[in-house]
């Protein structure tokens, strides 16, 4: 990743393009270009060796005009305030595009969880939660998992918040285990949603699953479950990558066997799997993966992956963004000229926050749904949202990213106009 890349500037640049295209009220546009609230916290914890280490954490709420704010928390050495602000803005658009009654937020801690013990991660999570507890809550801002956070981390967040207020508050975070108020289907929700919109997009282009090849960048929660669903639908997954490297097999990877391998591998990596050619160099594997002669490319890792430098090498017909912000606006332009259809992040990966919303509703009502009900509601909402975006694209004669943003920004703008400015 180039060091001068600003994800926040990129998110604002995308907003400016949309604002211009839809002739957005400049006062509302100006408001949207700022985050409503950003909290920077220091997170001192005792490490296992007895020393004290201080981590930096953030929680940013971009816009709450459509409801309480919502968004994940990521643990990564590359986390910055700039990045978290951008991700919070993307959450505002994401919730609006699928019609959830939320605004956008995001959180993060600058840390490398791979080098920390479980106890250290627990103490860091609890202290971070305590520090941000002044601005989160089931009616205010509801965190969830993101890069390197999981149901266990959400359990600690829920417990810490509950201990502070003196009673159990399951609705304060989503992505929890089902035993403490989590939802059926949440773990697979983002990957399932990615697969649903991808299938809808491929149908429009006349691609058939059984004849289509896919490359998936990232094999975390999103990439691995997207690969699982696509494999199950008959797509041939010919390349995948993770932080360690990439795995390639032109005849198609045996995804269920690969998932089993990663699950039992102590480092949870692709390395060591027999059913493909393994490239153990992260950068080389990613360069090869992004340029594979496949029908579909699914970037499901981090932002700023498909850029002006490598977009020209993309051979896929469809890109479906499982990650947030994987494609820069410059790359978008190159891809669009080359006729590549990009299903944008705010639509493609909205399955996660959608089932988070279902989880929150179940928690508030103490009334829990079957997995079938969750999946049916998710599929219906993803399909309807894809169609809504597709219709805007046809009406406005624009690409799917512009269409999704027009839909999202117009919904937020309407709420903003109705509520007016306080005082």
How far apart are alpha carbons 55 and 40 in whole angstroms?
11
Per-position x/- string for 304-343, each x denoting binding to ligand GLU as judged by CB under 6 A, each - no binding: --------------------x-------------------
State whether the Cα torsion 216-205-211-250 is positive or negative.
negative
The only residue of 35, 279, 298, 353 in contact with ligand GLU, by rule CB under 6 A:
353
Closest CA to 321 of 419, 213, 216: 216
- The reply on whether position 144 binds ligand GLU by CB under 6 A is yes
Tokens of 406: 């027009």
The only residue of 61, 92, 125, 174 in contact with ligand GLU, by rule CB under 6 A:
174
Report the residue number, 294 or 350, with the smaller CB distance to ligand GLU.
Answer: 350
Task: State the nearest-atom distance from the C-beta of 349 to ligand GLU, in Å.
Answer: 6
Task: State the nearest-atom distance from the C-beta of 315 to ligand GLU, in Å.
Answer: 27
Task: State the nearest-atom distance from the C-beta of 360 to ligand GLU, in Å.
Answer: 9
- The reply on whether position 71 binds ligand GLU by CB under 6 A is yes
Stretch that binds ligand GLU, among 1-9, 41-49, 262-270, 349-357 (CB under 6 A): 349-357
Residues in contact with ligand GLU, counted by CB under 6 A, come to a total of 11
Report the residue number, 186 or 317, with the smaller CB distance to ligand GLU.
Answer: 186
The only residue of 89, 352, 389, 390 in contact with ligand GLU, by rule CB under 6 A:
352
Report the residue number, 59 or 70, with the smaller CB distance to ligand GLU.
Answer: 70
- Could you say which of 70, 94, 106, 176 is catalytic? 106
- The reply on whether position 356 binds ligand GLU by CB under 6 A is yes
Report the residue number, 135 or 287, with the smaller CB distance to ligand GLU.
Answer: 135
Q: Please list, residue by residue across 130-166, b when 16 or more beta carbons sit within 10 angstroms of its beta carbon and e when fewer do.
A: bbbbebbebeebbbbbbbbbbbebbbbbbbbbeeeee
Report the residue number, 222 or 247, with the smaller CB distance to ligand GLU.
Answer: 222
Nearest to ligand GLU by Cβ — which residue?
72
Task: State the nearest-atom distance from the C-beta of 313 to ligand GLU, in Å.
Answer: 27
Q: Kindly list the strands in the beta sheet with 69-76, ordered across the sheet, starting from the edge strand earlier in the chain.
A: 37-46, 52-63, 103-110, 69-76, 141-145
Report the residue number, 24 or 353, with the smaller CB distance to ligand GLU.
Answer: 353
Task: State the nearest-atom distance from the C-beta of 102 to ligand GLU, in Å.
Answer: 8
Q: Is-catalytic flag, 106?
A: yes
Q: Which residues are catalytic?
A: 106
Residues of the shown chain interacting with ligand GLU in the complex, contacts defined by CB under 6 A: 70-72, 144, 146, 174, 324, 349, 352-353, 356
């Amino acid at each position: 990743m180039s060091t001068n890349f600003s994800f926040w500037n990129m998110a604002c640049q995308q907003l400016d393009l949309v604002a211009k295209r839809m002739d957005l009220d400049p006062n509302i546009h100006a408001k949207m270009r700022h985050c409503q609230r950003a909290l920077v916290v220091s997170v001192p914890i005792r490490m296992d060796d007895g020393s004290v280490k201080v981590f930096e954490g953030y929680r940013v709420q971009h816009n709450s005009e459509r409801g309480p704010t919502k968004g994940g928390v990521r643990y990564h050495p590359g986390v910055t305030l700039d990045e978290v602000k951008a991700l919070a803005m993307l959450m505002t658009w994401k919730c609006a595009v699928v019609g959830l009654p939320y605004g956008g937020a995001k959180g993060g801690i600058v840390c490398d969880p791979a080098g920390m013990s479980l106890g250290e991660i627990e103490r860091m999570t609890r202290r971070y939660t305590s520090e941000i507890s002044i601005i989160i809550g089931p009616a205010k801002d509801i965190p969830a998992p993101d890069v390197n956070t999981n149901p266990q981390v959400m359990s600690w967040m829920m417990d810490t918040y509950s201990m502070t207020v003196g009673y159990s508050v399951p609705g304060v975070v989503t992505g929890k285990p089902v035993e403490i108020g989590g939802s059926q289907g949440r773990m697979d929700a983002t990957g399932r949603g990615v697969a649903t919109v991808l299938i809808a997009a491929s149908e429009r282009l006349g691609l058939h699953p059984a004849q289509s090849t896919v490359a998936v960048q990232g094999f975390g929660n999103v990439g691995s479950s997207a690969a699982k669903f696509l494999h199950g639908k008959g797509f041939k997954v010919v390349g995948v990558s993770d932080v360690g490297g990439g795995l390639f097999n032109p005849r198609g990877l045996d995804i269920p066997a690969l998932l089993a391998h990663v699950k039992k591998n102590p480092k949870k990596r692709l390395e060591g799997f027999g059913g493909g050619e393994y490239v153990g160099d992260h950068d080389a594997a990613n360069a090869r993966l992004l340029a594979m002669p496949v029908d579909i490319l699914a970037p499901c890792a981090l932002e700023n992956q498909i850029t002006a430098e490598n977009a020209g090498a993309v051979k896929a017909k469809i890109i479906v963004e499982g990650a947030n912000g994987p494609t820069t606006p410059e790359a978008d332009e190159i891809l669009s000229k080359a006729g590549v259809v990009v299903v944008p992040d705010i639509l493609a990966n909205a399955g996660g926050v959608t089932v988070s919303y279902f989880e929150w509703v179940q928690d508030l009502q103490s009334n829990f749904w079957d997995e079938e009900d969750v999946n049916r509601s998710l599929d219906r909402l993803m399909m309807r949202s894809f169609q809504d975006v597709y219709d805007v694209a046809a009406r406005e004669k624009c690409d799917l990213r512009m269409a999704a943003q027009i839909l999202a920004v117009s919904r937020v703008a309407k709420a903003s106009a109705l509520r007016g400015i306080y005082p």
